[in-house]
Chain A
Amino acid sequence: MAQISLDKLAHSYVAKPQTDADFALKQIDYVWQDGGAYALLGPSGCGKTTLLNIISGLLTPSKGHIRFDDDDVTLRSPEQRNIAQVFQFPVIYDTMTVEQNLAFPLVNRGVARSEIDRRVADMLDTLDLKDKARQRARGLSADEKQKISLGRGLVRYDVNAILFDEPLTVIDPHMKWQLRTKLKQLHEQFGHTMIYVTHDQTEALTFADKVVVMYEGEVVQIGTPEELFDEPAHTFVGYFIGSPGMNVLPCEVDKNIVHMAGAKFTLNKGYADLVGKLEIGIRPEFIDVKSAAEANGAGVAIQVTAVENIGRHKIVRGTVNGYAIDVLTDEDQSIPSDAYAVFNTSRFNVYQNSHLVRAHS
């Protein structure tokens, strides 16, 4: 087990990278705390798998260093780094039994037979695979195979970290919950550092203590699920996390006065003079739809274009002075014909060139 530090790390698949765009992974500095549960979240092609493979040693970064505690492991192979990795598709050794699969990494490392037997028996218990121990692994279902892939990492008690590369992709939805719960439970039991790559926000937010959001090869925000929800550091984060995503509308900001969507809002916080592309981010949860009478002068008229019922909530899609916005309301909220969108201005986030700006006071 170890703390993993990334030091000015960057990677390009191009031999001689010239511009920023050549980098699949732009420079990142970060320390993964020992025993933490992290999720790397982002759309396909954002560099999250690249980052994961650099940590596991399957890929050597073009720039920077990676350290396990104080050891520089940048040039070391995966086996020397002593990490475990679970891939998108379950990797099992077809011709071996479940037992032999779990014993394989230990056999390769020359662990004593009695110790192997003990650990494999333990692991079969933990993974609920005891009754299948002597079956060929190839006949099992996808989730059982994925458990074996995971088990092959966990039987090595001393692994520095366990890395997951979208491990639930091929698992049936009803088994996803079970496996995810199992992962959480294993994390608590063994306390390994776990890094979990996914493009599914639900998976990331339920699994991780800290979520690393990536976008176009860049880490745009690292934070707890609450932080990502309340204060997205980048408009992409606001849009990517939450369902529906954050509304992002162009605006003008003058100290504590915001002009947006043809209306004027007064905030209880002020901003320095801002230049560049300015936008307001406001989550659909923090907008209300009211009738003119209820709104009583607050809010802006909204033309409702669609209402989607999503169980306990409704998504109201509409336009405010020509700008499209989504609003999340309670299921039993009626949508009046003279609807007004009332914004909770304390939840306004101001973005300058897509990055969050902190208020002055």
Chain B
Amino acid sequence: MIDKPFNNKAWLFVLPVFFLVAISAIIPLMTVVNYSIQDTFGNNQYFYVGTEWYTEVLGSSRFHDALGRNLLFSGIILLIEIPLGIFIALSMPRKGFWVPVCLILMALPLLIPWNVVGTIWQVFGRADIGLLGRVLTGLGVDYNYATNWLDAWITIIVMDVWHWTSLVVLLCYSGLVAIPEAYYQAARIDGASKWKVFRYIQLPKMQRVLLIAVLLRFMDSFMIYTEPFVLTGGGPGNSTTFLSIDLVNMAIGQFDLGPAAAMSIIYFLIILLLSWVFYTVMSNFGADAPNKEVG
């Protein structure tokens, strides 16, 4: 064994990064942690309350409901966008004139800012002046996202699918075009059906990009804020009050900094935990160590 070199100069290389990360992440995060364990009656007078805010937030039905909505929303989004994205990517041409056309069409929604997307759909869906709203009402469908919670949910989901499925499509497409032609030729010679080509060649080769797609879509959808905010501001009732909306209401609306800070930390840890779960499960799927036996 060679002894590990020991050299204090290494600190010089690490320090700039440490400094940057401290300013951009650790210090802001620590102020939030600071808020979350203290209370104030104004006048910049703070006193330590320990884990009180955490127990309060974790025990409140308001938090449970919002968390439930978030999980349901992210679940629905992943279940729709991932298969749909894969399907569209598979249907896209691999070469020829239509490739750039498809790619640009796919990239368009991604270029539109969140609040604009919200506004577009908010107007589009309005029963009095929106095209979609008028058409649906004209067809006899009782559609009103401002009063019916199901309509509000459907609108937000459609909005998100319209806005972000392209991202999944583009990621999957990049995975698909990277598969060498020989794989398809070998599969034909082996007599594989279309489904088997998908199951044993395309899906395994897309695994890496799918992992990225799932993580991005999960994190993004779990942090959804702008769309419901623009559409109904969390309504009707509390039906689209997700954690982020609740958090803003609590922190800025009610100025309850302590509970809001505690909730931020919990929110952050949940995203971290679930992302880790997704990452671990998906990167271990069918990719065990080279010499491990599989049954």
Which positions in A face B, CB cutoff 8 Å? 56, 58, 77-79, 83-85, 87-89, 91, 93-97, 104-105, 108-109, 134-136, 138-140, 149, 152-153
For B190, give the chain A residue with the smallest CB separation: A105
> For the complex, is B91 an interface residue (Cβ under 8 Å from A)?
no
Interface pairs (12), CB distance under 8 Å:
A58-B188, A79-B188, A87-B186, A91-B180, A91-B186, A94-B200, A95-B204, A105-B190, A108-B192, A134-B293, A135-B292, A138-B290
A136 and B294 contact, Cβ closer than 8 Å, known pairs A91-B183, A108-B193 = yes
For residue B289, CB closer than 8 A to chain A, the reply is yes
Verify B201–A83 contact, CB threshold 8 A: no
- What's the Cα separation between A105 and B190 when bound, in Å? 5
Give the residue name and chain of the A residue nearest to B199 (CB).
A95
CA distance A95 to B189 in the complex (A): 19
Q: Inside 8 A of B290's CB, which chain A residues have their CB?
A: 135-136, 138-140
Residue in A89, A105, A136 whose Cβ sees the most chain B Cβ within 10 Å = A136
Beta-carbon contact of B185 and A104 below 8 Å: no
Could you give, for residues 168-202 of chain B, a 1 whenever the CB lies within 8 Å of some chain A CB and a 0 otherwise?
00000000000010110110111111001000110
Residue pair B180, A105 in contact (C-beta under 8 Å): no
Asked whether, in the complex, the Cβ of A87 is within 8 Å of the Cβ of B182, the reply is yes
What CA separation (Å) do A85 and B286 show in the bound complex? 26
Q: A84 touches which one: B189, B204, B292 (CB < 8 A)?
A: B189
| Complex contact A89–B180 (CB within 8 A) | yes
Partner of B190, one of A88, A136, A152: A152
Pair B185/A58 contact, Cβ less than 8 Å = yes
- Whether a CB of chain A sits under 8 angstroms from the CB of B291 is yes
Given contacts A91-B183, A134-B293, A135-B294, contact A85 B288 (CB under 8 A): no
Q: Are A85 and B295 in contact (CB under 8 A)?
A: no
A79 vs B190: C-alpha distance when bound (angstroms)? 7
Complex interface bits, B263-295 against A, C-beta within 8 A gives 1, otherwise 0: 000000000000000000000001111111111
Please tell me if the beta carbons of A56 and B191 are within 8 angstroms of each other in the complex.
no
Point out residues on B near A: beta carbons under 8 Å.
Answer: 180, 182-183, 185-186, 188-193, 196, 200-201, 204-205, 286-295
Name the residue of chain B whose CB is nearest to the CB of A93.
Answer: B200
Q: Please give me the residue from chain A that is nearest to B200 by CB atom.
A: A93
A119 to chain B, nearest CB (A): 14
B191 touches A97 (CB 8 A): no
- Given A135-B290, A135-B294, A139-B290: A108 and B196 interface contact (C-beta under 8 Å): yes
Known: A78-B185, A139-B289. 9 other contacts (CB 8 A): A79-B190, A83-B189, A89-B180, A95-B204, A108-B193, A135-B292, A136-B290, A138-B287, A139-B291
* CB proximity of B220 to chain A, nearest CB, Å: 28
**Is B188 within 8 A of A77, CB to CB?**
yes
Chain A residues near B201: list those with CB within 8 A: 93
Contact assessment for B204 and A88 in the assembled complex, using a CB-CB cutoff below 8 Å: no
A109 to B182, CA, bound (A): 20
| Beta-carbon nearest neighbor of B180 in chain A | A89
Q: Which residues of A contact B189 (CB under 8 A)?
A: 56, 78-79, 83-85, 105, 153
A96 partner residues in chain B, CB cutoff 8 A: 200
Q: With A and B bound together, what is the CA distance between A167 and B47 in angstroms?
A: 74
Least CB distance, B202 to chain A, in whole angstroms: 11
* Alpha-carbon distance between A61 and B287 when the two chains are bound, in angstroms: 40
Closest B residue by C-beta to A79: B191
Taking a contact as CB atoms under 8 Å apart, the answer to whether A89 and B293 are in contact is no
Ranked 6 nearest A-B pairs via Cβ = A139-B290, A91-B186, A108-B191, A87-B182, A105-B190, A95-B286
The minimal Cβ–Cβ distance linking B151 to chain A, given in whole angstroms, is: 42
Report B208 CB to chain A, min CB distance, Å: 12
B200 cross-chain contacts in A, Cβ below 8 A: 93-96, 104
Chain B residue at smallest Cβ distance from A109? B191
Chain A contacts for B292, CB-based, 8 A: 135-136
A56-B189, A104-B190, A139-B290 known; A91+B182 contact, CB < 8 A: yes
- In the bound assembly, the distance between CA atoms of A109 and B192 in angstroms comes to 9
Q: How far is the CA of A97 from the CA of B288 in the complex (A)?
A: 11
Q: How far is the CB of A310 from chain B (nearest CB, A)?
A: 36
A-chain residues with CB within 8 Å of residue B185 when the two chains form the complex? 56, 58, 78, 85, 87
* Measured CA separation A301–B196 after assembly (Å): 69
Closest partner residue, chain B, to A153 (CB atom): B189
Looking at B185, B204, B290, B295, the one whose CB has the most chain A CB atoms below 10 A away is B185
What separation, in Å, do the CA atoms of A79 and B205 have in the docked complex? 23
- Provided the pairs A87-B182, A89-B180, A89-B182 are in contact, do residues A97 and B190 lie with their beta carbons within 8 angstroms? no
Q: Shortest distance in angstroms between B129's beta carbon and chain A's nearest beta carbon? A: 52
User: How many angstroms between the C-alpha atoms of A97 and B294 in the bound complex?
Assistant: 8
Chain A min CB distance to B229 (Å): 43
Q: Which residues of chain A are near B196, meaning CB under 8 Å?
A: 108
Nearest A residue (CB) for B182: A87
Q: Write the nearest CB–CB distance from B234 to chain A, whole angstroms.
A: 44
In whole Å, how far is A30's beta carbon from the nearest beta carbon of chain B? 22
A290→B188 CA distance, assembly (Å): 60
A104 to B293, CA, bound (A): 19
* B295 with A134: CB separation less than 8 A: yes
Tell which of A77, A79, A91, A94 touches B204, judged by Cβ atoms closer than 8 Å: A94
From A136, which residue of chain B is reached at the shortest CB distance? B294
Contact B186 A135 (CB under 8 A): no
Q: Write the nearest CB–CB distance from B245 to chain A, whole angstroms.
A: 41
User: CA of A94 to CA of B187 in the docked complex: distance in angstroms?
Assistant: 13
> In the assembled complex, how far is the CB of residue A7 from the closest CB belonging to chain B, in whole angstroms?
23
Interface centre among A93, A97, A134, A139 (most CB of B within 10 A): A93
